[in-house]
Chains A and B, each alone.
Chain A
Amino acid sequence: MASMVIFAKPDNIHPDPKLDWTKFKRGDVIDIRDDDNFYWGEAVQGPQALNWWRVVTVPNTPAAALLSLAAGDSPSADGSAYRLRINSINLDMLEFGKNLGITDRLTSDVPTLLAVRTVKPVIANPNVIGSDPRVIG
């Protein structure tokens, strides 16, 4: 009984590499709702939908059980880089072998999602020099 939107656009890149962490990446879980048939809006599921998303339905699973997939780091006090989403879903694997249109929904389950999930590496604090993260440059 959950529906989630996963960011699917592959080329969301910031022109300044130092700020690329501010961009959502393909595989980021954007939002999750407690309704298999949740309507995410015209920009996602309408006739003029943007090809930036993939809706994934996870039957028999409460949204609360999936919220960790959409978790991010707590922003740092100094405004330095952090992960908007800690986890990434490998959409290529989820979509493999399926001929999906822009608004077609995928159906999945928790074991499958966990199998295609990767944890993103922690983004180094640019204000820290050296291997010891407690040393401030």
Chain B
Amino acid sequence: MATKTIGSAVGRDFATLTLWSAYLNVLVLAAPEIGQMYADSEFSQAIGVTIGGYTGASSTNTVTLNCGPAQSFRDNANVQTNALRYNAANGVAVKWTTTYILPLTVSGTFFTADGLQMTGTGTNTEGGVRNTGTDNTVNNCILQFKPRLGTVNQAALFNNALRFTAENISLYVANAIGRAVQDSASTTTGLYVDITIIGLSSTATGFTFAYTGSPVKNCPVYGFTTDYSGTANGASTNNATDKGAFGGTNFGTSGQVSITSAEWQSLTSGSEDFRLSPSSTKLKDNGATTGPTTDIAKTTRVAPYDIGCWELVAAASSGFFFRNPSLSGLGSGGPFFNNPLG
């Protein structure tokens, strides 16, 4: 296994993501290859990045783009209280600054992106993350893009290849015209699970399949003129929509309708926080018990799972536990107090 470090600090192997992608482009893989990003500073990209060109990839010789130890927003000490949105102060973050570029294209195979924050600040981009290679995965990421309304491949998350998996993603379309998820694979055996899809009153569609698509599970869609379109796999279940009824076909099984902004901490533009609100009534505990066993913040999910990328955790206790003296066999050590009511 080879690991290359990516960051602006002296001593890293590559200073920019584009440069690592060019290194990767040359490789003939004989072992797993990892690009490990460091939050030395925000990664600012004026040029689109293409992951591909390498050969020899397989289920054992994989390619991973992730974060160094304690570098991801998921590892932040305040991950439970930080607002869930793109914020370079919270961990590794990649920002594409140019209008009309395609931020990240993945044409290679057996590739996984994990634990990253990615955004496009140009007024309109040609999408966000675009996958055209087989057996690829995007996990545990915060995506925030402004895709322009063009042809169908211009979505914040686009796929047209086999076995594409997307899990535990906070996906925010931050303009009024962009699509969120578009899958145009004619034959697909992938999976979309635990993706929170929020639009800024976008006139486009939240989740679209051009052909009969992969299963979609535990994915809420909010803030788009059209929530879902096309036909999802029949195994789709426990999604949610802000409409009175689900669009498309097969998305609505065991789902929640008419969800409101009150399900999340804040959907106010500029201070978005896509963590689930403790007062959630429709997303909390209404998900299918399937998919990753931890959420985007590494919180262990407790059945029944919450819908979306965030699992609410119980309010913290006072830190004290009362011991009922009537119960025998319990040790007397530890921070226990006698229960005066016991």
Q: Which residues of A contact B (CB under 8 A)?
A: 5, 7, 9, 12, 14-15, 22-24, 28, 30-33, 38-44, 50, 52-53, 63-64, 67, 70, 72, 74-75, 77-79, 84
Interface of B, secondary structure class, is loop
Over the window 121-162 of chain B, the binary record of Cβ atoms lying under 8 Å from chain A Cβ atoms (1 yes, 0 no) is: 000001000101000000000000000000111000000110
Can you show 10 pairs from A to B with CB atoms below 8 A apart?
A22-B53, A24-B26, A30-B19, A40-B19, A41-B12, A41-B15, A41-B19, A42-B11, A79-B160, A84-B50
Q: Please tell me if the beta carbons of B15 and A22 are within 8 angstroms of each other in the complex.
A: no
B interface residues with partner A (beta carbon < 8 Å): 4, 6, 8, 10-16, 18-19, 22-23, 25-26, 46-48, 50, 52-53, 55, 98, 102, 105, 107-108, 126, 130, 132, 151-153, 160-161, 184
Residue of B nearest to A31 (CB): B18
Given A23-B53, A41-B13 in contact, is the A31-B19 Cβ separation under 8 Å? yes
Q: Do the beta carbons of B16 and A14 come within 8 Å of each other?
A: no
Q: How far is the CB of A126 from chain B (nearest CB, A)?
A: 14
Given contacts A31-B18, A43-B13, A44-B19, contact A67 B47 (CB under 8 A): yes
Among candidates B16, B98, B105, residue contacting A75 with C-beta atoms closer than 8 Å: B105
Query: Across the two chains, which residue of chain A brings its CB closest to B6?
Result: A41
B14 touches A14 (CB 8 A): no
The contact of B25 among A24, A44, A72, by CB within 8 Å, is A24
The reply to whether B55 and A39 form a contact with Cβ atoms under 8 Å apart is: no
Question: With A and B bound together, what is the CA distance between A14 and B27 in angstroms?
Answer: 10
List the B side residues contacting A52 at CB < 8 Å: 22-23, 26
Q: Is the beta-carbon distance between B22 and A24 smaller than 8 angstroms?
A: yes
A74:B102 contact, CB within 8 angstroms: yes
